Each structure stands twice: as C-alpha cells, then as structure tokens.
C-alpha cells in the first residue's frame, strides 16, 4: 500500500487514500504531524545510529568514509550509540531547549539540500539526516497500519534553496530519493507541493476552474496555476493542465528570522556603537538566527568568532547588550530565539501586541512587539511572496478564477492580505493549512501505484 509523504520544512506527515477518502496516519499518539527536527548527543551519532540501530548501510564510498569517521569520533568520546540517543520532533526540541549547549540539534534539514559548493562528505551527512527522519516516519506509519509500506509519493518545492538553479533542484531531489530508498521505500515518486495541494482541493470542485494554488510553507512558497475539476481529476498525466509554476525558498522560517532580526536583535547590541563610534557589524546579529543558512551558522558558532565577539564586547558602548550575544554563542541559543520569534508571529496574527520572552538561561527578558512592527519587519519576505504570485499569473497569461491558499504560514492574515493585494477581487479560498499537501500526495499515490 502506498502513502503520500509530506517531508516538510516545518513538519512531516503521511496519509493513505483508501475506499474513496484520505486517511491521515497518526504518528505520535493521535498527532498527525512530527516537527522536522532532530537532536542527538553529537552530529556523528546520526550516521552510526543508522548503521547500528536501524541496520541502514551507506550506499557509496563517501558514505562509508563518513560512517568510519563517526564511529572513530564516538569511540574517542566514549559514546556508545543507542536507539534512544536520537530524538525527533517535539522530543528533539524539548531536549535541545533543556540543554542547548551539549547536544546536536537541527531544524528543517530540507532547507540545506540545494546548497551548492558543499563537499561530498557534507552532502552524505545531509542524506543521513534525511534518512534518519524518513526512517522514523516510516516506522511510525507501519506501526500504526500494521503492515510494511514500500511505495511513496513525496512532495517537493518547485525550487529548493540554492544558487545553482536546476543543479540545486537535481541535487536536493537526489538526496531525498536516495534517503527514501535507504529508509526502505522501494518505489518513490515526487510531486510539486502546490500541485499536490491542488489535487486535494480539486476533489471539491463540481466544474472545471483555473485555480492559482499558493502554498506558503515553513521553508518555501510555491505557486501553481492549474486547470482542475472533473475533467482532469482521474488523469495520471496532468502535464497539459499545469499552466505555470513559480517558487522560491521563502516561507515561515524567513518570517521568523526577519522577526527575530528586526524585533529582537537590538537587545543583543544591534544598532549600538563601539567606543570608537563605529557600528558593530550586522552580520554578527544575522548569522546566529539564520537557521536555514549552513554557512552563516557555521561562521557565527565557529570557535574563532567567539574571540571576535569578546573583542566587540570590550569595545562596545553598551556591553551589557553585547554580552547577550556572547551568551547566544556560548550556549548555542539561535534556535531558541527563532522559536520565540515564531510564537510572536503566530500571536500577532490574532492580537495587536505581544510580549516575547527571551530565555538565555542566565537571563530572561521581555520584548514588546506590535503587529505594525511585525509587518515592517517581515516586509522583505512578504514582498518576495507577492512577486511569486504575480510571476505565476504572468507566466500563465490568464487571470485565475480563484486562489487556493494552503501551507502553515498561509494562516497569517498579513500574508493573506498581501496575496489579495496582488489579485484584486479574485476569490480566495483557504484550505487545510497543514494537511492539503499530504492529502493530495496520498491521492496521487493511490492513482499511480494501483
């Protein structure tokens, strides 16, 4: 039996299409969603965990070298890898928040997969991360269903993050495919996420329509202009119905990053001066919270950068604020700051003001944020989303009959209004923000793996 698998930037979910309806598969208790997070004692644990605890072997010489290195490091550190050393989802986040300094934590590895210029060993490690997460989801699905699952249709964005264009997309999809195969999925197909969301919406249509799907997820925004309705619903080949695609790595994560940068980082010294009158480099405030940028994270948390930060602290006119930046580095708290930015973004979707609580372990302080301030903070990613909507309409050469908005970040009234500002009086329909893509993937899996 095949499943639809939404390996999302923010969450993972799966579903089956049985007896004419989509059946979401609970993964943790009754919860259908597992946050796309992983936590372990160190990064080397992941590769050895796959080999020892999941019996998943590397598929090439690079992977074998990565595994040998991981085993060597863990042996030198006296770490005997066990199955419960690797945590996923909420368990991973809880462990990180409890002890951020002494664990390896990663959120949204899907955001890294299209990055260019990485060494083969780094790419192999990314594959291990994805494989571990997919294996976890597969095992939980099979436990619930009571049988093995070998076939899956997996969602993918129109464009992955990366400066390589098609090369980034090919690299990222290749990592996903290899990881899924290693996790035990024998047959794997991919579907654009906005198209998948459209397939679910299509089931509700009584007549053919030109629909613009706007899928604003955790890491990407994808727009697809699709002809859909009864004429198209049962067709396996939908190529001629797909009129336009646009997509970019801009989504909920970016909104959180900009919220943190514009609303929080002044409390860490951003905008303050050195005694000489020179500004403190903005990059030192951007890099710790740029959780989707591997190089930025590596640059900020590098050992050498701590010496730079100490020098900035000594020269700062407001050393008490810059001291928080030192703590951010020392305790690896970037994800914690982003977590509070996300809570702020969600709260201001319903309220005009919110008081954020930033926990630096040694200090907890509050920051008041208004909706107006949030809108100003997230204006750059909001404008990118509006441009993607316009691009899809221009590509197709037609005005949509309606807009279907989905994806976790589409809940934001700020983004809904931004999309409406591009399309004027076109009706906007809002679907299952988290489940539309998964449901469409399940429908697609049922159609092609009969």
- Binned at pLDDT 50, 70 and 90, residue 163 comes out as low
Indicate whether 412 pLDDT > 70. yes
What percent of the chain shows pLDDT beyond 70? Answer: 99
Distance from C-alpha of 60 to C-alpha of 298, rounded to nearest angstrom: 26
Distance of CA 268 to the CA centre of its chain: 26
- What pLDDT score does 162 carry? 65
Average pLDDT over residues 178-185: 98
pLDDT for 430-439, tens place per residue? 877 778 899 9
Q: Which of 8-12, 55-59, 165-169 has the highest mean pLDDT?
A: 55-59
- What pLDDT score does 116 carry? 86
What are the Cα distances from residue 26, in Å, to 351, 433, 438, 439? 31, 17, 13, 13
pLDDT for 319-352, tens place per residue? 999 999 999 999 999 999 999 999 999 999 889 9
Average pLDDT over residues 348-368: 94
Q: Which of 209-223, 225-239, 384-398 has the highest mean pLDDT?
A: 384-398
Nearest-CA neighbor of 40 among 139, 125, 144, 158?
125
Q: Are 315 and 279 in contact (CB under 8 A)?
A: no
Q: Which of 146-155, 232-241, 287-296, 399-408 has the highest mean pLDDT?
A: 146-155
Average pLDDT over residues 296-301: 90
All CATH 3.30.420.40 domain ranges in the chain, comma separated: 209-251+379-431
Distance from C-alpha of 115 to C-alpha of 161, rounded to nearest angstrom: 6
E-strand stretches of 342-411: 353-359, 364-370, 402-406
Please name the residue ranges forming H helices in 77-119: 89-98
What are the Cα distances from residue 36, in Å, to 23, 145, 411? 21, 22, 19
Q: What CATH class is the domain 209-251+379-431?
A: alpha beta
Indicate whether 258 pLDDT > 80. yes
Distance of CA 148 to the CA centre of its chain: 27
E-strand stretches of 293-359: 353-359
Indicate whether 361 pLDDT > 90. no
- What pLDDT score does 164 carry? 67
- What pLDDT score does 197 carry? 87
The pair of three-digit structure tokens given for residue 311, joined into one six-digit string? 């020098």
Average pLDDT over residues 374-392: 96
The pair of three-digit structure tokens given for residue 15, joined into one six-digit string? 């579903």
Distance of CA 314 to the CA centre of its chain: 37
Beta bridge partners of 107: 37
Distance from C-alpha of 355 to C-alpha of 377, rounded to nearest angstrom: 16
- What pLDDT score does 203 carry? 85
Average pLDDT over residues 390-395: 96
Helix (H, G, I), strand (E, B) or coil at 88: strand
- What pLDDT score does 411 carry? 85
Indicate whether 7 pLDDT > 90. yes
Q: What is the DSSP string of 210-262?
A: EEEEEEE-SS-EEEEEEEESTTTTT-S--GGGEEEEEEES-SHHHHHHHHHHH
- What pLDDT score does 432 carry? 73
- What pLDDT score does 259 carry? 97
pLDDT for 91-132, tens place per residue? 998 888 887 778 999 988 888 898 888 899 999 999 999 999
- Binned at pLDDT 50, 70 and 90, residue 408 comes out as confident
Handedness of CA 266, 271, 275, 281 (dihedral sign): positive
Distance from C-alpha of 163 to C-alpha of 379, rounded to nearest angstrom: 22
Average pLDDT over residues 151-156: 96
Ranking 72-86, 91-105, 128-142, 395-409 by mean pLDDT, the lowest is 91-105
Please name the residue ranges forming H helices in 101-250: 120-145, 166-183, 193-202
Q: CA torsion angle for 403, 406, 335, 25 (degrees, to 10)? A: -170
Burial class (CB in 10 A: 0-12, 13-18, 19+), 128: buried
Neighbours of 424 (CB within 10 A): 7
- What pLDDT score does 100 carry? 79
- Binned at pLDDT 50, 70 and 90, residue 237 comes out as confident
């Amino acid at each position: 039996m095949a499943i639809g698998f939404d390996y999302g930037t923010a969450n993972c979910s799966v579903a089956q299409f049985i007896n004419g309806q989509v059946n979401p598969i609970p993964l943790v208790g009754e919860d259908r969603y597992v946050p796309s997070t992983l936590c372990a004692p160190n990064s080397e644990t992941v590769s050895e965990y796959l080999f020892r605890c999941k019996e998943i072997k590397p598929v090439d010489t690079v992977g074998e070298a990565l595994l040998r290195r991981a085993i060597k490091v863990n042996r030198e550190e006296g770490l005997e890898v066990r199955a419960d050393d690797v945590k996923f989802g909420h368990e991973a986040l809880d462990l990180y928040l409890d002890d951020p300094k002494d664990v390896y934590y990663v959120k949204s590895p899907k955001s890294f997969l299209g990055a260019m210029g990485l060494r083969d060993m780094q790419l192999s490690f990314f594959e291990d991360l994805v494989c571990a997460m997919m294996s976890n989801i597969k095992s939980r699905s099979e436990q619930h269903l009571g049988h093995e699952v070998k076939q899956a249709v997996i969602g993918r964005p129109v464009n992955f993050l990366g400066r390589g264009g098609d090369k980034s997309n090919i690299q990222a999809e290749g990592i996903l495919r290899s990881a899924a195969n290693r996790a035990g999925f024998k047959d794997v197909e991919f579907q654009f996420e906005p198209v998948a969301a459209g397939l679910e919406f299509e089931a509700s249509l009584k007549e053919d329509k030109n629909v613009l799907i706007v899928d604003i997820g955790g890491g990407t925004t994808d727009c697809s202009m699709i002809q859909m309705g009864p004429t198209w619903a049962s067709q396996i080949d939908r190529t001629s119905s797909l009129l336009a695609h646009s997509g970019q790595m801009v989504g909920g994560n970016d909104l959180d990053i900009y919220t943190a940068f514009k609303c929080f980082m002044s409390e860490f010294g951003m905008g303050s001066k050195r005694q000489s009158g020179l500004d403190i480099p903005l990059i030192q405030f951007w890099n710790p919270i740029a959780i989707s940028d591997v190089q930025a994270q590596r640059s900020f948390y590098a050992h050498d950068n701590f010496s730079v930060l100490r020098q900035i602290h000594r020269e700062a006119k407001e050393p008490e604020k810059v001291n928080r930046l030192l703590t951010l580095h020392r305790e690896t708290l970037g994800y914690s700051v982003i977590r509070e930015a996300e809570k702020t973004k969600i709260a201001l979707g319903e309220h005009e003001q919110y008081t954020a609580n930033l926990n630096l372990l040694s200090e907890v302080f509050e920051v008041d944020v208004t909706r107006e301030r949030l809108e100003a903070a997230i204006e750059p990613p909001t404008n990118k989303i509006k441009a993607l909507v316009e691009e899809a309409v221009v590509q197709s050469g037609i005005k949509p009959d309606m807009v279907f908005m989905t994806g976790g970040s589409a809940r934001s009234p700020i983004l809904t209004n931004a999309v409406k500002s591009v399309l004027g009086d076109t009706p906007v329909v809002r679907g299952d923000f988290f489940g539309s893509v998964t449901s469409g993937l399940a429908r697609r899996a049922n159609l092609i793996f009969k």
